Every structure is written in structure tokens, then in C-alpha cells.
């Protein structure tokens, strides 16, 4: 039978054809080609007609329920408003009695969310109600208006978010398919005229049967205080969201977009329907819990600059950011996180969606990948070359060619005849390996996975109940239905070491999990395929990758009997994927614009929970020259996930292949990464505690500084380092904006005041600044992998502020197990004050003993020589120390231990 193999052919043609180095847009829908988006997008403000019957209000301890009617057709709905801990509201709206159940997202949110009790009050003559967290009305409340329905959210007395304030709610209730012979009814039963696309839709050669007909939802959500909106990854676009007037809306529909373009609202591999609205006064977050195809219109009056000119000229006071959210199916389920600060919102969001668990230390080191390392000898050679070039790295990765004919969980017996020995060889160097394991399963009679899947009914089915077949890397493939608990259990069991020839030092990369289907509509699975529970793919599409990584995570837990922290890299992602996986920005390109784009893309992902984020170093497609490769390494050394990866048709790009000078400079960049691992690790620990990602926009810590709101060429790591990597070809200088306060260049110690500075840069410059007032823990004895640095001593960088103070934290544990969860870790608070640096153990685990010592302290901002310096601790007693210099003032070998309280006194 002939099949449409169009996309496959295109991929192979494009590899050799530079003309097609931009995305083929005809493969992907614009809003007008998506029936529901077209119906939803052109709804005029004020055109809908939903009323809340406030008299129907039923109130419970932590929620209230109201009846709603669509006055255009009499259709009835229910509105629920719930209160959660820490100033969070949730709005749910569903049909009172839908013809079929409508999908409500499962698995993405944390189970057992902590609710908060609610107080309520009917206002005026019953035109509105207010609901508030008990005793906190001065902080957070929502006011519900009856006619037309509208919800105003208040934080600290300020209106910060409005639901349906423009009265554009369109909620297509489920209905029976009209008989073809029926006359169009004028019974007021339909709020939308019948359109052909409601019951069947065509796109290119694909037809989507829509058994349930129209069921889309759409509503406006506005932010009265601000037009600075962020989030809704994944898009290759500005960090601060652009206005979509005259442009396509932002689309969220997980797709394998080949050679994606920049500055585009086109969808990519992941969808996190979460937005932050930030103003100097207040920050809020909105989470739209929906796994179906979603489009979002944004009105911010243009870029910030145009906006302020317009305001100046026109005297417009309009500061409101307007959005409209449109999903193909599901229910309205929206969380409102009311801040008030950015850090508060990060934490509120994390309480609902979860956090990235602390990775093993090696996972935040440098990773080396390629499509493909060809065989065992290749792996040996690459590994040995890292050592002979003295460049640290922590793991080597194998792409799809390592398998026997793209059958995952197998090895090519010619190229990789000794996988266990190979992994052991790598791990004997203190390193790990990672293999790719995709969700498409080769339909091959002798393949155990395929046979098990057929025998036990593990595959996604088509609408007639037949196993769905699509085309992917192995050729004809079927797709496991990870929504089925027995599939997740089966998949998890396949990671057992007696089933998958491997060791506990082999970890996992889940790619192509949008899912990618080369011959499917828009390169994915048709929407009318069927999943466990009777749901159509349409309702759950954006969660498919989440369900896969959830199951892989479970597999890695099981094989180590819950001892070792899993590591998974995913391409597709959704709300909650951070609980299981790191993420990278997919198949980017070897050019300067893509290097620049890695920052806004990872910032958007970081504020949306996916905090272990990176981009392929060098760009996946095409060949970077030495300068681009170097600058990319320098930027990536300061991003959370750091991996060199490339397409099979590119030239080799291991770090020593760009000439001696470049090799030396890449080595220098990677060594800077390794020096800072103690700081990154502490930040990842804090991320697990609080939900605040290590990589942050400047406004996270400078919320009132409007100059930071549009910045996307620089970012913070924690609160204390600001990074502005060089991302321009041939750059000899760079303009860096530093927020108010004092900053020190982290590498040459030059002092800067807040403001914009033009700095000269050379090829070894990575502009990184330490905030005065901070203490940063580092290790300066760089070895070939992070595990070999475990017991090495620390060097502390102390940058004193104008009050003569500085603060920092250091977190240490065994770097790989879950024992820290039961208290086996060490946490110390570091303080500089009154010419005294002191360390206080705030937690020391019962069975965890850390014997590292402090080998050096570098003090910035003292600006005088110390006359004498003395260390005091239990282990050293009281000893005089050597010091030298005044800026920096370096104290050598204090020899105090990290696991004891100590002090270093300076006399000037
Ligand atoms: C493992 O290392 C040993 C010693 O260097 C070598 O002889 C052997 O070929 C290696 N095995 C693999 C599979 O790379």
C-alpha cells in the first residue's frame, strides 16, 4: 500500500540542500487552517452572553459553585472557584451535564494540592460576590460579577487579572451531529452557525474525523497593570511576549518542527500554557490547565519601546496587557497565582505543578553527544580525547544509530557488541552514558517490545479500534499508549538491568515524544486516535511526552531500588514535565541568531518550571565555525543544561577540532563551568525547595527596574551572578546593563556600579558579574569529571557590599542518591560582617559526613591589605593565616572544614 512519506523524504533532501534551511511552513497550520481557532479568534469583545446566577451560589470550606447560563441558547454550565494555599485561586467551568464527559487534565498537576479555607460576601444588591482566603481579604480576593459574567482578581487591593472582562467567552457545548437533511435550525440552540469544519476537517492530505464535533473553549484574560507578559513556552521568540495583532497567535501544540525559525509564534516541541504578567507593583501568574491544541492572542501595544513612545505622544494611559486563550477541547481550568512578587509567583506555581528534583551532580556538568557516535571504538576515542585535551566532561551520549535497527532497548551487535563493558569503561573514569529511547516502536515481528505490545494491548488505536501505524525512524511504527497505567508499568520494567543490557550508569534521553510521526498530520499523530480511558488524542496531545518521561522516571527508580536520582532529557514537555526531566530546545541551527535565542527560550522555560534547560551547543543543523562554537560554549557554560550535540550530516565538532587556540578557550569556558558546580548544585537544591529556577530573568530580583523587563541577552544565575555572554560575531565590545548596586567582574575583579557599561571583550571573555553582598562557593581544582572533584576543597568568593556585608549558602550531599531527602546533607550559611567571615552549619545529616576544607577565600571590595588574619574553629583552633593583596584580598589555606562552624577574622 502506498503511504505518504512526504516528511521523511523532505528530511533527507534537506540535509543536502541548503535552500531548505528554513522551516517548511506549509506543513504546519496557521490559525485560519485550524477550524476551532478560526471560530474562536474572530470573536468580538462584548459578543458573548454568559450570566452567573449568584443566587445559586453554594459555598463550601474551600470552594464555591455557581450556575451559569449561556443566554444565547439557554445552555447551562457550572462555575467553581477554589482557594489554595498562599494566595492561589482556581477557576473551573464545565457544562452542567455534557453530552459526553469533557477531558479534565490528570497527572500534570501535583496530587493533593493544599487548599485554603475561603470566606465570601455578597456585595451590593447581589450584583457581585467576593471570595477571599480566610482572613486575607486585604491580600487576595476575587470579585465575581453576574451579568455579564466576569471575575476580577485583586492582590493587595490592586486589580491584577480579569477573567472574561471583555466578555468574549465562547464555550462550545457538546452536541449531536445534525442530520445532513436537517434544515439549519433557528431555535437559538447554537451560538455559532454550523460550519463544515465542526464535524470534519482537512489539512493537506489528512482528514480529521471529529466524532464529538465542536467543543472548543476560549476566553479573555487581561492584566490591568502591565503589558510585560512572559512564558507560554515553547516558542523561538522574544522572552517578553510580542503583540500578536496582525500576526499569528502563539500556538501550543507539541510538534516536531523541522528547522524551526526564530521570531515566530509557531508552535514547537513543548507546550506549557502558563503566563506571568509583571509590573513594578505586582506580579501574577496564570496557568491554563489544558492539554489540547491551544492558541493565545496577546495584545501589549507593541514592543515596550514603541509603547512608551505612543504613551508619550498620545498621552495614553493604557497599561493593560490583554490575552485570549483558545483550546480545541477540554474544560476551562485556570489557576491564578497572585504574587505579589516574582519570587512569590514562582513558588505559588511550583506548589501546583511541582519542581525539578535535585539532579545528580554529573547531570549539571558538561555533556557530549552526537548523532551518532558510531561504535565502541568511537566512544573510546572521544572519551580519551577529552582527557588528552584536558577538557572536563561528565557523560557521552548515543543517538538512534546505537540500536539494532531503531529498536529501542537493544544494541547494534556489530557496532556495540559489549555495551556493559563499554559503559563500565566510561564509568570507571567517573563518567556516565546516556542512550536515546523514543516512544515509537518498530513493527517488527521479532522485536520483544512490539510483540509484548500487541499481546498485551499497549498501543494507541485508531478510531476503529485497530492499532495505529505511523512512520518514524524505524519505518512502520506503532506508539505506546503511556496514558494506560499498565503501559507505564511495562515500560518502566524494561529499564531493569536484566532486561536492558546496561548498568546503573546509563541514563535516558526521550526524544521524538511530541509524538513525531513523519507521515502524520503536521508530523504528529492524528487527533482522532484513541487513548486509554476512551479519550481522543485531540484531548491529550500535549501531554504525551509528559506521560512517557513519567514512566521512564519510574523505570530508573525501580532499577536502582529507589536509590539513585533519575536523569532524563526530554524534547516534548507540558505542565509538570519538570518533575521528571531536563529539557533542551530541540533541533536548532548553527548560527548566531540561534545562539542568541537560547537565552530567551531557556528563560521562558525556567519561569515555567523547566529549570534544567539548555540548547545544543554549536546548533544541531549545519556547521559552526570556530568562533561560533567558542561563543556557544561560553554561553552554555552558564546555562543550566550544557550539551554539545549535532546532526548526523554535520562535521565532527568535539571541542578540540577547531584549532589549538579555540581548544584552549573552550577548555577555559568548560573549566569555569566546573569551578561553579558547587554554586549551581546549591541553586538546584534551593530550586527543589522553593521552585525558583537557577536561571532567572533580571526582573526576578530587580522587579521595580523597568530597564530589566525586556532584557533577553543576559540572565541571572541565582541571585548573585549576572551573565551577559558574547553572542555577536566579531564582537570586540559589549554593552552590559547592570541593575542598581555594585557588581564585580567575576574573572578580573573590576568594579562596576549599576548602569550600562561598554566593555571591551576578547575571545576569552565571558562577561559574568558577581553582585556585591554575595558569597559564591567554587572549586578551583578542575578534574576530568565532576565526580572526581567531590572531595576537593572550596574557594569562596566574597563580594562585600556598601554595608561591609555579604551572604551565601553552600549545600553538599552525596551527589547521587535520595538520602538527602531523609536529612543526609550538609548546609552552611556563610556571612561576612564586621570584618569577619563566618560559616555556620545549619544542617548536618546524621549519616552524611563531608570532610572538604576551605582552601582559599577571595575577598572583593575590602580595598585594603589585611594586617593580620586569623582562623578560629574546633579543628584548627586559632591560627594566623597568610593573606595578600587588597583587591582581591586573598586568604590562603584557612584549612577550616565545611562541616564545622568557623570564623575568619580580618584586621586592617
Ligand atoms: C574497555 O577498556 C579496556 C581497557 O582499556 C579495553 O581493552 C576494552 O576494549 C574496552 N572495552 C570497550 C567495549 O570499549
Q: What is the pLDDT of residue 184?
A: 54
Domain-located, residue 259 = yes
Question: What is the percent of the chain where pLDDT is above 90?
Answer: 91
pLDDT tens digits for range 606-647: 999 999 999 999 999 999 999 999 999 999 999 999 999 999
The residue to which cell 571573555 is assigned: 765
Compute, in angstroms, the gap from residue 639 CA to the centroid of ligand 1.
Answer: 33
Any bridge partners for residue 738, and if so which?
755
pLDDT-derived band at 191 (thresholds 50, 70, 90) equals low
Predicted local confidence at residue 123, as pLDDT: 83
Which of these three, 329, 353, 377, is where a domain ends?
353
Q: Catalogue the active-site residues.
A: 511, 587
pLDDT digits (tens, 9 = 90+) for 297-356: 999 985 444 444 444 444 445 799 999 999 999 999 999 999 999 999 999 999 999 999
| Gap between the Cα atoms of 268 and 516, Å rounded | 11
Helix locations, 749-891, DSSP H: none
317: CB partners within 8 A, 6+ apart: 311
Q: Which of 382, 384, 425, 506 to mutate to test the pocket of ligand 1 (most atoms within 8 A of CB)?
A: 425
Nearest CA among 61, 95, 92 for reference residue 172: 95
Cα of 387 vs centre of ligand 1, distance in Å, is 16
Task: Assess if residue 432 is contained within a domain.
Answer: no
CA-proximal residue: ligand 1, atom 6 (nearest): 425
| 2: pLDDT strictly greater than 60 | no
Residue 706 covered by a domain? yes
Residue 38 scores a pLDDT above 90: yes
Find the 386 Cα to ligand 1 centroid distance in Å: 16
Asked whether the predicted pLDDT for residue 19 surpasses 70, the reply is no
User: Which residue, chain included where needed, has cell 515566530?
Assistant: 264
pLDDT greater than 50 at residue 176:
yes
What's the structural domain count of the chain?
A: 2
Q: Which CATH number goes with the domain that contains 810? A: 2.60.40.1180
pLDDT confidence of residue 199: 94
Domain boundary (322, 353, 384) is at 353
Confidence of residue 410 (pLDDT cuts 50, 70, 90): very high
On the CB side of 109, CA atoms within 13 Å amount to: 22
User: Tens digit of pLDDT for each residue in 762-775?
Assistant: 999 999 999 999 99
Q: Report the pocket of ligand 1 as residue ranges, CB < 6 Å.
A: 376, 380, 418, 421-422, 425
pLDDT at residue 185 in the model: 53
Give the pLDDT confidence score for residue 307 in this predicted structure.
45
Closest to 571 measured CA to CA, from 260, 276, 208, 290: 260
Mean pLDDT of the chain: 94
State residue 301's pLDDT score: 80
Q: What percent of the chain has pLDDT over 70?
A: 94
Q: How confident is the model at residue 849 (pLDDT cuts 50, 70, 90)?
A: confident
Domain that holds residue 129: 32-105+112-204+213-353
Q: What's the pLDDT score for residue 315?
A: 41
Residue 567 maps to a domain: no
886: which DSSP letter? S
Nearest ligand 1 atom to alpha carbon 376 = 14
Report if residue 659 sits inside a domain: no
CA dihedral (176, 182, 185, 191) in degrees, to 10, reads 40
- pLDDT for 21 equals 61
Note the pLDDT of residue 538: 98
State the pLDDT at residue 317: 55
421, part of any domain = no
Closest protein CA for atom 4 of ligand 1: 425
How much is the average pLDDT of 188-206? 78
Identify the pLDDT of residue 15. Answer: 44
Q: Nearest CA to 550 among 457, 627, 439, 467? A: 439
According to the model, what pLDDT value does residue 847 have? 75
Q: Which of the listed residues 353, 380, 413 is the one where a domain comes to its end?
A: 353
Distance 373 CA to ligand 1 centre (A): 16
The pLDDT score that the predictor gives to residue 242 is: 97
Q: Is residue 269 part of a domain?
A: yes
Residue 8 CA to residue 2 CA, distance in Å, equals 14
- How would residue 598 be classed by pLDDT, with cut points 50, 70 and 90? very high
The CATH number of whichever domain residue 152 belongs to comes to 2.60.40.1760
What number does the ligand 1 atom closest to the CA of 379 have?
14
In a domain, 444, yes or no: no
Atom of ligand 1 nearest to the CA of 422: 13
Q: Which atom of ligand 1 is nearest to the CA of 377?
A: 14
Please, which residues have CB within 8 angstroms of residue 387's CB and are 6 or more apart in sequence?
Answer: 429, 784
Whose cell is 457581585? That residue is 128
Q: How far is the CA of 419 from the centre of ligand 1 (A)?
A: 11
Mutational pocket test of ligand 1: of 373, 374, 380, the residue with most ligand atoms within 8 Å of the beta carbon: 380
Cβ contact 447:407 at 8 Å? yes
pLDDT score of 22 more than 80 = no
Amino acid at each position: 500500500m502506498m503511504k505518504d512519506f512526504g516528511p521523511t523524504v523532505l528530511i533527507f533532501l534537506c540535509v543536502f540542500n541548503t535552500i531548505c534551511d528554513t522551516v517548511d511552513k506549509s506543513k504546519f497550520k496557521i490559525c485560519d487552517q485550524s477550524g476551532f481557532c478560526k471560530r474562536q479568534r474572530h470573536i468580538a469583545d462584548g459578543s458573548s452572553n454568559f450570566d452567573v446566577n449568584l443566587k445559586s451560589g453554594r459555598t463550601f470550606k474551600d470552594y464555591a459553585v455557581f450556575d451559569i447560563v449561556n443566554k444565547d441558547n439557554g445552555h447551562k454550565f457550572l462555575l467553581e472557584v477554589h482557594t489554595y494555599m498562599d494566595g492561589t485561586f482556581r477557576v473551573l467551568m464545565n457544562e452542567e451535564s455534557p453530552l459526553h464527559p469533557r477531558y479534565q487534565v490528570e497527572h500534570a498537576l501535583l496530587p493533593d494540592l493544599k487548599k485554603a479555607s475561603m470566606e465570601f460576601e455578597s456585595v451590593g444588591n447581589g450584583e457581585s460576590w467576593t471570595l477571599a482566603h480566610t482572613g486575607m481579604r486585604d491580600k487576595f480576593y476575587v470579585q465575581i460579577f453576574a451579568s455579564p459574567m466576569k471575575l476580577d482578581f485583586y492582590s493587595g487591593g490592586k486589580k491584577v487579572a480579569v477573567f472574561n472582562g471583555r466578555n468574549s467567552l465562547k464555550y462550545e457545548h457538546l452536541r449531536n451531529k445534525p442530520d445532513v437533511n436537517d434544515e439549519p435550525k433557528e431555535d437559538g440552540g447554537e451560538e455559532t452557525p454550523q460550519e463544515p469544519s465542526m464535524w470534519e476537517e482537512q489539512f493537506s492530505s489528512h482528514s480529521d474525523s471529529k466524532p464529538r464535533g465542536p467543543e472548543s473553549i476560549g476566553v479573555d484574560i487581561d492584566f490591568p497593570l502591565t503589558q510585560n507578559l512572559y512564558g507560554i513556552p515553547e516558542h523561538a521568540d522574544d522572552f517578553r511576549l510580542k503583540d500578536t495583532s496582525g500576526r499569528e497567535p502563539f500556538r501550543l501544540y507539541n510538534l516536531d518542527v523541522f528547522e524551526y525559525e526564530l521570531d515566530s509564534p509557531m508552535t514547537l516541541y513543548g507546550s506549557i500554557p502558563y503566563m506571568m504578567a509583571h509590573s513594578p507593583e505586582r506580579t501574577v501568574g496564570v496557568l491554563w490547565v489544558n492539554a489540547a491544541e491551544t492558541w493565545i492572542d496577546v495584545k501589549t501595544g507593541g514592543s515596550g519601546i514603541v509603547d512608551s513612545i505612543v504613551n508619550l505622544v498620545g498621552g495614553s494611559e493604557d497599561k493593560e496587557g490583554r490575552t485570549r486563550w483558545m483550546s480545541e477541547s477540554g474544560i476551562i481550568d485556570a489557576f491564578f497565582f497572585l504574587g505579589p512578587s516574582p519570587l512569590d509567583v514562582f513558588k505559588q506555581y511550583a506548589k501546583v505543578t511541582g519542581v525539578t528534583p535535585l539532579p545528580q551532580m554529573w547531570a549539571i556538568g558538561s555533556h557530549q553527544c552526537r548523532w551518532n557516535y558510531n561504535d565502541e571504538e568511537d566512544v573510546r576515542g572521544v572519551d580519551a580525547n577529552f582527557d588528552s585535551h584536558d577538557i572536563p566532561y561528565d557523560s557521552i551520549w548515543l543517538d538512534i544509530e546505537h540500536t539494532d535497527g531503531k529498536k529501542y532497548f537493544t544494541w547494534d551487535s556489530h557496532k556495540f557488541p559489549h555495551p556493559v563493558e563499554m559503559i563500565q569503561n566510561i564509568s570507571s573514569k567517573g563518567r556516565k552514558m546516556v542512550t536515546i529511547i523514543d516512544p515509537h516502536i518498530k513493527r517488527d515481528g521479532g522485536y520483544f517490545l512490539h510483540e509484548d505490545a500487541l499481546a498485551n494491548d499497549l498501543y494507541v488505536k485508531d478510531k476503529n479500534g485497530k492499532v495505529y501505524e505511523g512512520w518514524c525512524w524505524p519505518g512502520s511504527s506503532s506508539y505506546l499508549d503511556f496514558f494506560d497505567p499498565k503501559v507505564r508499568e511495562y515500560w518502566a520494567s524494561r529499564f531493569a538491568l536484566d532486561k536492558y543490557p546496561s548498568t546503573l550508569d546509563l541514563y535516558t534521553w526521550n526524544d521524538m515524544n511530541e509524538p513525531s510521526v513523519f507521515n502524520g498530520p503536521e508530523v504528529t499523530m492524528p487527533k482522532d486516535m484513541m487513548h486509554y480511558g476512551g479519550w481522543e488524542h485531540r484531548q491529550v496531545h500535549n501531554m504525551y511526552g509528559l506521560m512517557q518521561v513519567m514512566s521512564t522516571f519510574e523505570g530508573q527508580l525501580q532499577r536502582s531500588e529507589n536509590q539513585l536520582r533519575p536523569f532524563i532529557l526530554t524534547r516534548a514537555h507540558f505542565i509538570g514535565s519538570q518533575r521528571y526531566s531536563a529539557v533542551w530546545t530541540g533541533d536548532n541551527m548553527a548560527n548566531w541568531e540561534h545562539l542568541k535565542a537560547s537565552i530567551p527560550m531557556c528563560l521562558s522555560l525556567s519561569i515555567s518550571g523547566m529549570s534544567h534547560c539548555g540548547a545544543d551547543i554549536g546548533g544541531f543543523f549545519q556547521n559552526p565555525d570556530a568562533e561560533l562554537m567558542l561563543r556557544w560554549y561560553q554561553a552554555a557554560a552558564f546555562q543550566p543544561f550544557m550539551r554539545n550535540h549535532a546532526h548526523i550530516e554535520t562535521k565532527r565538532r568535539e571541542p578540540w577540532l577547531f584549532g589549538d587556540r579555540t581548544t584552549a578557550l573552550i577548555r577555559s569556558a568548560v573549566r569555569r563551568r566546573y569551578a561553579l558546580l558547587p554554586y549551581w548544585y546549591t541553586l538546584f537544591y534551593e530550586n527543589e525547595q522553593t521552585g525558583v529556577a537557577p536561571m532567572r530573568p533580571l526582573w526576578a530580583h530587580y522587579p521595580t527596574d523597568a530597564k530589566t523587563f525586556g532584557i533577553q541577552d543576559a540572565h541571572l544565575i541565582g541571585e548573585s551572578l549576572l551573565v551577559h555572554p558574547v553572542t555577536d560575531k566579531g564582537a570586540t565590545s559589549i554593552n552590559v546593563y547592570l541593575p542598581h548596586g555594585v557588581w564585580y567582574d567575576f574573572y578580573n575583579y573590576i568594579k562596576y556600579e549599576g548602569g550600562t557599561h561598554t566593555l571591551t571583550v576578547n575571545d576569552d571573555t565571558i562577561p559574568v558579574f558577581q553582585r556585591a553582598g554575595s558569597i559564591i562557593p567554587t572549586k578551583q581544582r578542575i578534574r576530568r569529571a565532576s565526580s572526581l572533584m567531590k572531595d576537593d576543597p572550596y574557594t569562596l568568593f566574597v563580594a562585600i557590599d556598601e554595608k561591609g556585608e555579604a551572604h551565601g549558602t553552600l549545600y553538599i550531599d552525596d551527589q547521587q542518591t535520595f538520602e538527602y531527602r531523609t536529612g543526609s546533607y550538609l548546609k552552611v550559611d556563610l556571612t561576612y560582617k564586621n570584618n569577619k567571615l563566618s560559616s555556620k552549619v545549619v544542617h548536618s545529616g546524621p549519616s552524611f559526613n563531608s570532610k572538604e576544607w576551605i582552601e582559599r577565600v577571595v575577598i572583593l571590595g575590602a580595598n585594603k591589605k589585611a594586617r593580620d588574619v586569623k582562623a578560629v574553629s574546633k579543628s584548627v583552633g586559632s591560627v594566623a593565616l597568610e593573606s595578600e593583596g587588597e583587591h582581591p584580598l586573598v586568604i590562603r589555606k584557612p584549612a577550616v572544614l565545611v562541616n564545622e562552624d568557623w570564623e575568619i577574622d580580618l584586621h586592617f
